[in-house]
Amino acid sequence: MESPLDKYLRLHSTPQGDALSWIERQTNIRTNFPQMLSGAVQGRLLTMVVQMMGAKRILEIGCFTGYSSVAMASGLSSGGHIDTLEINDELEDLIREGFSKAGVENLITLHIGDAKQTLRNLSSSIRSGDIPMYDLVYMDANKREYCDYYSEVIEMVRPGGIILADDVLWDGKLLGDSLPVDRQTRGIAQFNDMVASDPRVEVVILPIRDGLSIIRKK
């Protein structure tokens, strides 16, 4: 159910295009957890961040059905490219359909498999000079592994680059006096503490959707 605030934000933001509308509909029809979709307002923000940065090299950890990938691809500078990671191979057909609908299939490489292993492979390619560092990283995957992702990608992002981390307020579970013991909540809490104390970066958390952390590498 869309809240009055979310509805107001959506109606007063630039609307999503036809391809993103199609991905949203198909996500609701063909997946069990459509609420994981980024949505129109956050999708528009991702597009604008890419445009404002002039980003050409983007890494996405957690593709889901490809909504955020397409949103970012629509803001890419000429010659830009996205590497997107997804562990659920059952979503591959839907993801690729969405990329094709949006006409961005040549701008995105989909990596199916364990994110941490794929990150190690990409990091090795950067260190060897086979691929350049990333301008932007968007994290929206297993919350229990956010700290692991961050530890890997911080060295894969150029100075001045941005890491965006989704769901960092985790439905308000971090705000009480006692922290729930489940691993996902603990993972998000540890991640937020890790970033806030990291002298290599500057960070601000925006209360958009379920919390979006904007992390700038110095």
Q: Give the model's pLDDT for residue 176.
A: 76
In this prediction, residue 125 carries a pLDDT of 97
Amino acid 10: pLDDT: 92
Residue 187: CB atoms within 10 Å: 18
Answer whether 0.85 is exceeded by the pTM. yes
pLDDT at 175: 84
Predicted confidence at residue 162, as pLDDT, reads 98
Residue type, 218: K
Q: Give me the pLDDT at residue 147, please.
A: 98
Q: Which two tokens stand for residue 145?
A: 């592994």
Helical segments of 103-145, H only: 115-127
Per-residue confidence (pLDDT) for residue 166, from 0 to 100: 97
Tell me what pLDDT residue 169 has: 94
User: What pLDDT, on a 0 to 100 scale, did the predictor assign at position 209?
Assistant: 87
Rounded distance, CA 44 to CA 103, Å? 18
Cα torsion angle, 177, 183, 184, 190, sign: positive
Amino acid in position 121: N
Domains by residue range for the chain, with CATH? 4-217 (3.40.50.150)
Question: What SS3 state is found at 52?
Answer: helix
Q: What is the pLDDT along the chain (218 residues), one digit of tens a residue?
A: 788 988 999 999 999 999 999 999 999 999 999 999 999 999 999 999 999 999 999 999 999 999 999 999 999 989 999 999 999 999 999 999 999 999 999 999 999 999 999 999 999 999 999 999 999 999 999 999 999 999 999 999 999 999 999 999 998 888 877 777 789 999 999 999 999 999 999 999 999 889 999 999 99
* pLDDT reported for residue 82: 98
